Chains A and B, each alone.
Chain A
Amino acid sequence: MKTIIRFEHVSKVYGSENTEVRALSDVNLTVEAGEYCAIMGPSGSGKSTAMNVIGCLDRPTSGSYYLDGVDVAQLNDHELAHIRNRKIGFVFQQFHLLPQLSAMENVMLPMVYAGIPLPQRQQRATEALTRVGLANRLNNRPNQLSGGQQQRVAIARAIVNQPVLLLADEPTGALDSHTTQEVMAIFAELNASGITVVMVTHESEVARLTRRVVWFRDGQVIHPNLSPTNLAQVTVAAV
């Protein structure tokens, strides 16, 4: 099986000597292709920093991070941008759709940066939006869509460049329980089709719908492989 994420002694330190904050401290973590896992932990546990490093938005201070076999710790800005564009699909809590663009145009944006010609962009954006159930909302602006629909547009945007990793940061944080179910169903379906999904969440109901939970505390992974089914007891114990 192919390894998508491999952290080897990854540390991330913010600030200078006196005010030093160790956000990640010697973290080892492996996520295989096809996994569906949630990263959990109390605030300040380092899960957001881990997320940023996994998403190539940030570089580790020390240690190595292999994404799909590539050591990304040493890449420059241009190469990181390329990796984010081709290998990672981001989904955010606040959707981050561009308000002046239609659903279709928002989904095409990653392909614009990938240099894909327009006809192909339109075709693939339509396919992606159809996949998340928005085939009839192609030309709507974000403000003409509900929260759940906006998040589905964001998911379509994340998968349109066929990434090896779908990375979601509190993807249901801004949604009600009904639309949370809808969005989680889409994640499950995408995972079933082979996409590796990693999401940061603090909601155990959401984490329960994944297949593996990674528990962070104080910048370290204290439970690398919790079963989501008996999460409740562990969560209480861990906190």
Chain B
Amino acid sequence: MDILESVKMAVKTLTANKLRSTLTMLGIIIGNASVITMVGVGQGAQRYASGQFESLGPNVLFVIPGSSESRNRTLDMPRTLTLEDAKAIATQVPTVSGVAPQLQTQQAVVYSNRSTSALILGTTPDFSSVRTFDVAKGRFISDLDVQRGTRSVALGPDLAKSLFGTSDPLGQTIRIKNISFQVIGIMEAKGAFLGNNQDDVAYIPLSTMSDQITGNTSPYGTEVTFISIAARDENSVGAAQFQITNLLRLRHKIVTDDDFTVRTQKDALEVVGNVAGALTIMLAAIAGISLFVGGIGIMNIMLVSVRERTQEIGLRKAIGASQDDILVQFIIEAIILAALGGAVGTLIGVGGVTLVSMVSPLKAGVSPAAVIIAVGVSSGIGLFFGVVPARQAAKLDPIVALRSA
């Protein structure tokens, strides 16, 4: 008997009991839908995070306090990085074109009778160019502001809006930690970075920040939360990373373990890739388990089906079906159930992924490879879990099978 006839026969048998066939497929449908959705979402998360780091620009570096090991040991960030470090980098590292130390804290911001909590970010004029934050109106912090420790503030557009509504904030006075600041500029909207709103921020001179808001908290000098650095160009990022590391090791008199980390965009992308890759594997593994359970469901039903259809099997043998014919027939039934379930599950998964990318910032997508693998794997599962019942059917003694009533 040729395969086409076997397929027709299997379709006939499966459609004769639609409810059971559908329920049998359900496990595979759910398994496949979750594989496609999970992998799609995992990859979407990876693309989202990568996109965020790519938006920083390829020549940006960050110096953050502590080594990756020491940061894991304590809840609090180490306070080893200082303004003096930033100045040294700016003056002594030739491959660097801009250095923006940042000292930040969350504080209440008050204008007239409106109050809100915002991120207060003490920095230097370079911040605007290093991180490509542009001024929409007025001006950003100047060198003079930093030298004199003026009480000037530039507002992110969201913060400006929540304090001032539609009225013009320029020249107005707001209070941060009960200290008066004059609004000197409004920034362009920048959007969120990894879920943090970058427009709900108040920028003040770094010196004002350390002297009047946070106080001097580090024994080494004026503490900074981290330092953003722009390398001269994309090709000098590696050199800049090397030079900054050496300079800071000298300054911090380090013998063995670094108390700081210099990160490039490439490093960050690698970290994102690793985390997202692990996440995707984990999600796929969970979904894979449900696919496996679905396969067992198929085997279970097929075993029952062989029991139920003993007479049919006996009859088929009596009229000329060989053991191979029966084997092939039952395996094909299992494969059809699994492959069809796989296809339906894939469609549902694609729907799920589309839904996720519509309601969240994750640009989740379904790769054709994932679809091919999912449908292929579920067909394979049908084959794998179909063999045992099919062998049982093929081995039935036709005499016994025909007499069982």
**Are A115 and B1 in contact, CB atoms less than 8 angstroms apart?**
yes
**Are B320 and A86 in contact, CB atoms less than 8 angstroms apart?**
yes
Per-residue CB contact flags for chain A residues 92-124 toward chain B (1 = under 8 Å, else 0) read: 101010111100000001101111000000000
* List of A residues within 8 angstroms of B314 by Cβ: 96
Counting CB contacts under 8 A, is A202 at the interface?
A: no
**Are B320 and A92 in contact, CB atoms less than 8 angstroms apart?**
no
Counting CB contacts under 8 A, is A55 at the interface?
A: yes
Counting CB contacts under 8 A, is B76 at the interface?
A: no
Counting CB contacts under 8 A, is A172 at the interface?
A: no
* List of A residues within 8 angstroms of B319 by Cβ: 84-85, 90, 109-110, 113, 157
Counting CB contacts under 8 A, is B151 at the interface?
A: no
* List of A residues within 8 angstroms of B9 by Cβ: 112
Q: From A84, A96, A100, give the contact of B320 (CB < 8 A).
A: A84
**Measured CA separation A57–B316 after assembly (Å):** 12
**Are A100 and B321 in contact, CB atoms less than 8 angstroms apart?**
no
Q: From B1, B322, B399, give the contact of A112 (CB < 8 A).
A: B1
Min CB gap A155→B, angstroms: 13
Residue of B nearest to A90 (CB): B318
**Measured CA separation A101–B316 after assembly (Å):** 13
Residue of A nearest to B311 (CB): A96
* List of B residues within 8 angstroms of A161 by Cβ: 320
Counting CB contacts under 8 A, is B405 at the interface?
A: yes
**Are A77 and B322 in contact, CB atoms less than 8 angstroms apart?**
yes
Counting CB contacts under 8 A, is B281 at the interface?
A: no
**Are A84 and B318 in contact, CB atoms less than 8 angstroms apart?**
yes
**Are A57 and B399 in contact, CB atoms less than 8 angstroms apart?**
yes
**Are A100 and B399 in contact, CB atoms less than 8 angstroms apart?**
no
Q: Given A92-B402, A100-B12, verify A57-B318 contact (CB < 8 Å).
A: yes
**Measured CA separation A62–B5 after assembly (Å):** 38
Counting CB contacts under 8 A, is B7 at the interface?
A: no
**Are B320 and A98 in contact, CB atoms less than 8 angstroms apart?**
no
**Are B402 and A100 in contact, CB atoms less than 8 angstroms apart?**
no
**Measured CA separation A237–B12 after assembly (Å):** 52
**Are A113 and B320 in contact, CB atoms less than 8 angstroms apart?**
yes
**Measured CA separation A98–B325 after assembly (Å):** 17
Residue of B nearest to A81 (CB): B322
Residue of B nearest to A113 (CB): B320
Q: Given A57-B318, A86-B320, verify A113-B399 contact (CB < 8 Å).
A: no
Residue of A nearest to B17 (CB): A100
* List of B residues within 8 angstroms of A78 by Cβ: 322-324
**Are B16 and A100 in contact, CB atoms less than 8 angstroms apart?**
yes
**Are B405 and A94 in contact, CB atoms less than 8 angstroms apart?**
yes
**Are A101 and B12 in contact, CB atoms less than 8 angstroms apart?**
yes
Counting CB contacts under 8 A, is A58 at the interface?
A: yes
**Are B321 and A96 in contact, CB atoms less than 8 angstroms apart?**
no
**Are A98 and B398 in contact, CB atoms less than 8 angstroms apart?**
no
* List of B residues within 8 angstroms of A101 by Cβ: 12
Counting CB contacts under 8 A, is A181 at the interface?
A: no
Min CB gap B399→A, angstroms: 5
* List of A residues within 8 angstroms of B320 by Cβ: 81-82, 84-86, 110, 113-114, 161
**Are A109 and B405 in contact, CB atoms less than 8 angstroms apart?**
no
Min CB gap A120→B, angstroms: 14
Per-residue CB contact flags for chain B residues 302-345 toward chain A (1 = under 8 Å, else 0) read: 00000000011011111111111100000000000000000000
Residue of B nearest to A100 (CB): B16
* List of B residues within 8 angstroms of A86 by Cβ: 320
In A31-60, which residues have CB < 8 Å from any B CB?
52, 55, 57-58
**Measured CA separation A110–B322 after assembly (Å):** 12
**Measured CA separation A112–B10 after assembly (Å):** 13
Residue of A58, A110, A113, A161 ringed by the most chain B CB atoms within 10 A: A113
Min CB gap A98→B, angstroms: 6
Residue of B nearest to A82 (CB): B320
Residue of A nearest to B12 (CB): A100
**Measured CA separation A60–B312 after assembly (Å):** 25
Per-residue CB contact flags for chain A residues 132-162 toward chain B (1 = under 8 Å, else 0) read: 0000000000000000000000000100010
* List of B residues within 8 angstroms of A96 by Cβ: 311, 314-315, 318, 402
In B41-64, which residues have CB < 8 Å from any A CB?
none
In B19-75, which residues have CB < 8 Å from any A CB?
none
Residue of B1, B2, B314, B399 ringed by the most chain A CB atoms within 10 A: B399
A-B contact pairs, 8 of them (CB 8 A): A52-B399, A55-B318, A57-B318, A57-B402, A81-B321, A84-B317, A109-B319, A113-B321
Q: Besides the contacts A85-B319, A94-B405, A96-B402, what 10 more A-B pairs have beta carbons closer than 8 Å?
A: A52-B399, A57-B317, A57-B399, A77-B323, A81-B317, A92-B402, A98-B312, A98-B315, A99-B16, A112-B1
Give the 7 A-B CB pairs with smallest separation, nearest first. A85-B320, A100-B16, A81-B322, A113-B320, A96-B315, A110-B319, A90-B318
